[in-house]
Structure 1
Amino acid sequence: MTSHSLFARFAALHVPGNPVVLYNVWDAGSARAVAAAGAKALATGSHPVADANGWPDGEQVPIEFALANAERVVRSVELPVSVDFEGGYAVDPAIGAANVARLKQTGAIGCNFEDQVIGGEGLHPRAEQARRIAAIRDAVGSDFFINARTDLLLKNKDADDALIGEVIDRGKAFADAGASGFFVPRITDPRHIERVVKAVPLPLNAIAFPGAPATAVWALAGVARISHGPFPHKALMKQLEDSARAAISS
């Protein structure tokens, strides 16, 4: 299947009210396991990729390793693969766009692209982040799923109406810049989700975590994509540790 066909297949999975579930992977082995479980598409997570290979998260994984790992994941399955590419390994729009174009060459059909300042404080200004997204769109063409992520709710734990208004403003700006989807980690309240879904013309991505609402609740509110982030890797490593402890102590 061509990369364009895989992209079209992936984009079509984003249905508000019937969200695609992405149980995040980190290497070719985990990709094959999740594919065998019946996944319709795959997505890597930057945190589990880093953890599994001995680096901290936050673009500490060398870009050449990240690209090579992405290509191994893509080649290991016959499913659409989106890659968590953090901030594109650059602040400058042109350099970041060139890096994402390299990611597309691995066969990945999309990426997460976040607005927090990697290694710094806060978020990139809304207009600047929109310029970065627009540069990526120009570099990769129309057949690449840019999942524009805002970390407003990660940086501000108490989500009030004003903060959700800022989320919406970012979502609209990202849509105008050419984003394909809108990722808002830690959005949980169905009322907030409904407000964002109504105002932002992009499929909404929420992240599952311990204590998060059930998939059915989010689906009813209009979520189109549910990621699992670092939690599958964390759960597996805990199981490995427990099994090892039992074997060592027996």
Structure 2
Amino acid sequence: MSQADKAQAFTQLHRVGDPLFLYNVWDAGGARAIEDAGAEAIATGSMAMAIAHGYEDGQKIPFELVVTIVARICKAVALPVTVDFEGGYAEDLEGLAANVSILLNAGAIGINFEDQILDGQGLHTIEKQRDRIATIRHVAKGANIPLFVNARTDLFLQQNDKGKHKTLVADAIERGKAYAHAGASGFFIPGLTDLPAIKEICGAVELPVNVMRTGTTPTKSELASTGISRLSCGPGPYFDFVDRTKAAFKLHDK
């Protein structure tokens, strides 16, 4: 299957009410394991990839290393591979465009792209993030690859008081609509666990909606009932792996 065909197939996996489940990985070995387990697609996690290779989260891992890992994953599995691209590892649109092209050459068919200001505070303005997404779409079109751009808003992650999340729904919807107009393929709202709020966003934004599974997230069936099309795990799989490794060490050290 060609890269373009994989991108198209990946898009079709986003089903309302029957969400695509992505168990985020950080290396080729993990990707193969998830493929063998019956996954429909492979997704990397930026925090997991960074920590697993000795770096902190937040684009601290060199982009060149990210590309090397992504290329190894794409060669190791037959499934579509979507990459956590964080903020694009670039300060300007020219650098962003170059990095998107590099990821496409590595074999990626999808990306997560966030609106938080890395090494800063708050979020990029809607106008700036719209331009950034449009730049990504322009590069993908030039490569004839229908790249799945999963536009992430960090509105909810940056508000630790979950009681205030409902007050951010209108802002999230505004961003989701703007991102869709700029060329996004999906809308990612990590940190939001309130079912009515998720349902409201799903009903207002004309994009497949992605939520992140955590220990406090409702069940898959409950989330599916809100109208989401994608459910991912973020860094959870990596931390579970670390805990199991520690437990195995203690067991075998007896």
Q: Is this a same-fold pair by TM over 0.5? A: yes
Residues 146-195 of structure 1 show CA distances to partners (whole Å, capped at 9, x for unaligned) of 00000000001334443110000000010000000000001111111111
* Residue identity in the other structure for 1:92: D
Q: Work out the CA distance in 2 between the residues paired with 1:229 and 1:97.
A: 25
- The answer for the alignment partner of 2:203 in structure 1 is 198
Greater CA drift, 154-163 or 47-56: 154-163
> What's the offset of the Cα at 1:91?
2.8
Answering whether residue 226 of structure 2 is matched by residue 221 of structure 1, we say yes
Greater CA drift, 152-161 or 22-31: 152-161
Identity fraction in percent: 44
> What's the offset of the Cα at 1:245?
2.2
Residues 125-163 of structure 1 show CA distances to partners (whole Å, capped at 9, x for unaligned) of 111011100011111115100000000000013344431
> What's the offset of the Cα at 1:93?
2.0
Residues 31-59 of structure 1 show CA distances to partners (whole Å, capped at 9, x for unaligned) of 00000100000100001101111111111
Residues 94-142 of structure 1 show CA distances to partners (whole Å, capped at 9, x for unaligned) of 2112211210111110100000111111111111011100011111115
* Residue identity in the other structure for 1:44: T
Greater CA drift, 173-182 or 142-151: 142-151
Structure 2 unaligned spans of 5+: none
Structure 1 unaligned spans of 5+: none
Q: Work out the CA distance in 2 between the residues paired with 1:196 and 1:235.
A: 30
* Residue identity in the other structure for 2:188: F
CA contact (8 A) 2:156 2:165 kept: no
CA contact (8 A) 1:44 1:83 kept: yes
> What's the offset of the Cα at 1:90?
1.3
* Residue identity in the other structure for 2:201: V
For 1:18-29, what aligned pairs fall within 5 Å after superposition? 18-29=18-29
- The answer for the alignment partner of 2:187 in structure 1 is 182
CA contact (8 A) 1:98 1:136 kept: no
Answering whether residue 186 of structure 2 is matched by residue 154 of structure 1, we say no
For 1:83-232, what aligned pairs fall within 5 Å after superposition? 83-141=83-141, 143-157=146-160, 158=162, 159-232=164-237
CA contact (8 A) 2:159 2:165 kept: no
* Residue identity in the other structure for 2:110: G
* Residue identity in the other structure for 1:125: T
For 1:47-86, what aligned pairs fall within 5 Å after superposition? 47-86=47-86
CA contact (8 A) 2:152 2:189 kept: yes
Q: Work out the CA distance in 2 between the residues paired with 1:245 and 1:120.
A: 40
RMSD: 1.0
* Residue identity in the other structure for 2:220: T
TM-score under structure 1 length normalisation: 0.97
Q: Work out the CA distance in 2 between the residues paired with 1:162 and 1:126.
A: 18
